[in-house]
Structure 1
Amino acid sequence: MASVTKKEDFKFFNALLLILYIMLGYFFCHRIHNTFLLTNNLDNIENIQVVLKEKYPHSKNEILYFNDKYIFIDVTDTLKLDPKTKKATEKIHIMELENLFND
């Protein structure tokens, strides 16, 4: 009987370690993405913020992804609530990079 509980304990701790490794991997990848792939010191980031503040004055913005042609921005409106979930409404705003360089 003692060996059965040791096996069960071993399986339980292995499952906990697996969950811990998955969580650490997620947070590590998220940290690398925010630190090295997204940058806050570009002048055009300010242009994006100006455009978004004009269009969505009461919102919180976060760049989700960008490529050679488009920037995908998560816009969370802090004043408008979704009637079904009672949470702040979220939109994905897509901007063309060419529009930022015309100024």
Structure 2
Amino acid sequence: MIRKAFLIQAKDGMAAEYERRHNPIWPELEEIYNRHGVHNFSIFLQKETGFLFGYLEVEDEAAYNRIGEYDICKEWWQHMTEVLVCEHASSTKGKEEMLREVFHLP
């Protein structure tokens, strides 16, 4: 299993809306994640800063990377630009920083 982590940030005052949009996540998107071997996907909020830490496990990096090719995924990313900090006003996805694992205790 490959462990992945990322940081994104909710726009000021939008953390509650970000959480609302995930409860529940779109069923079509959940199905794609499941089909592409995504497990143990969690997102945690640091309330004071709006930073969101995401953690997930994937079976295969190539299969995981194909998720972004689906229209429903692109639609979700666009939907979330309303509540996430983005690189620029015309971004089609929130600004995401992938993190490098530096320690793991199995």
Scaled by the length of structure 1, the TM-score of the pair is 0.28
Q: Which has the larger radius of gyration?
A: 1
Higher relative contact order (CA 8 A, sep 6+): 2
